[in-house]
Amino acid sequence: MKSILSSLLLIVGSLSPLSTFAQKGKSDPVEVFDRFWQTMDRHYAFFELKQIDWEAVRQTYRPKIDARTTDEELFELLSEILAPFRDAHLKLKAPAPLQRTFSGGQPSLFESEFSTDSLKRAYFELVENSLATLGFDSLRQAGPILSARNAIYDHAPFEYSRSERVGYVKVSWFFYDFQNLGLFSRGRDRRNFLAAFGAILDELSTVDALIIDLRNNIGGVSGYPERLAANFSDRKQIGEYTCRRKKGGHEAFTRRKPTWMQPRRKEAFLRPVILLVNDQTVSACEEFVMMMKGLPQVTILGTPTQGALSDIYEKELPNGWTLGLSNMRFYSRDLICYENVGIPVDLRVENRLLDLETGVDPVLSAAMKAIAEQ
């Protein structure tokens, strides 16, 4: 399971009863710290990559905690420990009455430029207006809106359009219906997700090229990316390799296991494909980008992705708080791990706040230029 189901609940908690946390009684702060430290020590996958001396962390912070440490103080200390990892899959969640959340991550150009909800809405309006200027039809939606309360979530799973020669598909996340997404309904949700995308590809079957907009894609659920990527391959091939932490130390992992891409369509889409990405392209979506990277018809354009591909391992601490962490390593078919650095682009083009003044989405314009030159 990727980050979406653990972190999204905290923002749009009213969408699902899963957002209700059980409140535990008062626990010894030292016991909570020890369980926190041990859980990271046994399961976290990237101490060496992140250059974190975990034993030194214990020696530094444990003496600062005793029975008098308040919940607020303890949460601040644990958040202070997690922040230097810059890992978007590190989460610490405290239920009411404290009701606080820590989420890690790399510094973000997009977030620094479009820092408020209103600016993000203006950005999405810019994209839509730029499509119209470039000769695309009005955007259509496939699937339910996630939540109108937040600019990033005020979308359907798929939004698509076409010009005379080029198709455009925005993929917002890697699940279909969050309100009905659970452990036992995941297969149905995945079928709905893939069927919706397949229907869009059918509708765009006559275009000469396709733009897939993955900017600000928040991720989703494992098992979806390889099936979506398989629409663009006419042969069975490895999409990625994965392994997870095991006993034996910070660098002890299971054997790498391949994830296969099985062709899904009678005729795969082998015409030019441009993937638009940015530093808010994360998690399951990065899996998809990694699988698409290297396919002969694919060009990646924008800025490197977030660099947080692992699934999330969650553990409840003695006081009822929940710790989520990266416990897996994901590798490309060429055995490259893009954790921490993100998946590189073939052509770097940035979105800046100034774009709202010019009225032009430079990333979308660059994609159209790249298609014209092919």
Give dist(CA 160, CA 197) in Å, integer. Answer: 10
Which of residues 43 and 183 earns the better pLDDT score? Answer: 43
The answer to whether residue 20 scores a pLDDT higher than 90 is no
Q: What sections of 134-185 are H helices per DSSP? A: none
Q: What is the pLDDT of residues 278-287, one digit of tens each?
A: 999 999 999 9
Query: Domain ranges in the chain?
Result: 4-103, 109-309+328-372
What's the average model confidence in pLDDT over 325-340? 98
Whether the predicted pLDDT of 122 surpasses 50: yes
Q: Give 247-273 pLDDT, tens digit per residue.
A: 999 999 999 999 999 998 889 999 999
Q: For residue 280, what are its two tokens?
A: 């808010």
Residues 6+ apart with CB under 8 A from 152: 120, 216, 218
Which pLDDT band, with edges at 50, 70 and 90, does 8 fall under? low
Q: With bands split at pLDDT 50, 70 and 90, how would you rate the model's confidence at 27?
A: confident
Region 185-198: mean pLDDT is 94
**Cα(217)–Cα(173) distance, rounded to whole angstroms?**
5
Q: Write down the pLDDT at residue 197.
A: 98
- Percent of the chain's residues with pLDDT above 70: 93
Yes or no: say if 110 and 216 are a contact pair by the CB < 8 Å rule. Answer: yes
Superfamily (CATH H level) for 109-309+328-372: 2-enoyl-CoA Hydratase; Chain A, domain 1 (3.90.226.10)
332 phi/psi in degrees, rounded to 5: -70, 175
User: Prior bond to 97 cis, omega within 30?
Assistant: yes
Give the model confidence (pLDDT) of 42-87 as tens digits.
999 999 999 999 999 999 999 999 999 999 999 999 999 999 999 9
pLDDT for the residue numbered 319: 97
Q: CATH topology for 4-103?
A: Transcription Regulator spoIIAA (3.30.750)
Q: Residue 10 has what pLDDT?
A: 44
pTM for the whole structure: 0.93
What is d(CA 287, CA 290) in angstroms, rounded to the nearest whole number? 5
Q: Give CA–CA dist 298/253, Å, rounded.
A: 32
User: What pLDDT does residue 25 have?
Assistant: 54
3-state SS class at 294: coil
Tokens of 97: 């009455």
Q: Is the pLDDT of residue 11 over 60?
A: no
The tens digit of pLDDT for each residue in 290-316 reads 999 989 999 999 999 999 999 999 999
**pLDDT tens for residues 169-180?**
999 999 999 988
- Does residue 15 have a pLDDT over 50? no
Whether the predicted pLDDT of 23 surpasses 60: no
The yes-or-no verdict on residue 24 having pLDDT over 80 is: no
Output Rg (C-alpha) for the chain, integer angstroms. Answer: 21
Largest CA distance in the chain: 68
Tens digit of each residue's pLDDT (9 = 90 or more) over 215-236: 999 999 999 999 999 999 999 9
State yes or no: pLDDT of 4 exceeds 70. Answer: no
Helices (H), 83-182: 109-113, 117-133
Residue 50 has phi, psi (to 5 degrees) of: -85, -5
Bridge partners of residue 220, in order along the sequence? 174
CB atoms within 10 A of CB 354: 10
Q: What is the model's pLDDT at position 62?
A: 98
Q: By C-alpha distance, which of 334, 269, 262, 277 is closest to 307? A: 277
**What would the 3-class secondary structure string for 41-63 be?**
HHHCCCHHHHCCCHHHHHHHHHH
Specify burial of residue 74 (Cβ count, 10 A radius: 0-12, 13-18, 19+).
Answer: buried
Is the pLDDT confidence value at 21 over 50?
A: no
**Average of per-residue pLDDT values in the chain:** 93
